[in-house]
Amino acid sequence: MTSYAIVSARIPKKLKEELDKLGISPSEVIRRALWEEVKKRKLEMLKRRKRKLRHILDKIPDERVVETVREMRDSN
């Protein structure tokens, strides 16, 4: 079972009225936006790590990578 945390936000009354008028569920929009932000930040973090590791990864010959992948496949 998934557990949940409650998050609240204050928005202008005018915005809430518009959401209601258009039948928009604030909780769904917020949930989607938060997941998108999490994905975006994780991607940024991975890109930073990749840049830091690039000088190390560039030293590994392509042949060694291919050889390692084949060894891993054969061991399974």
pLDDT tens for each residue of the chain, 76 residues long: 789 999 999 999 999 999 999 999 999 999 999 999 999 999 999 999 989 898 888 888 989 989 999 999 998 6
Q: Identify whether 56 is part of a domain.
A: yes
Domain span holding position 59: 13-75
pLDDT of residue 59: 87
Q: Identify whether 37 is part of a domain.
A: yes
Q: Identify whether 47 is part of a domain.
A: yes
Give strand ranges (E) for 1-76. none
Q: Identify whether 29 is part of a domain.
A: yes
pTM surpassing 0.85?
A: no
Q: Identify whether 24 is part of a domain.
A: yes
Q: Identify whether 2 is part of a domain.
A: no
Q: Identify whether 33 is part of a domain.
A: yes
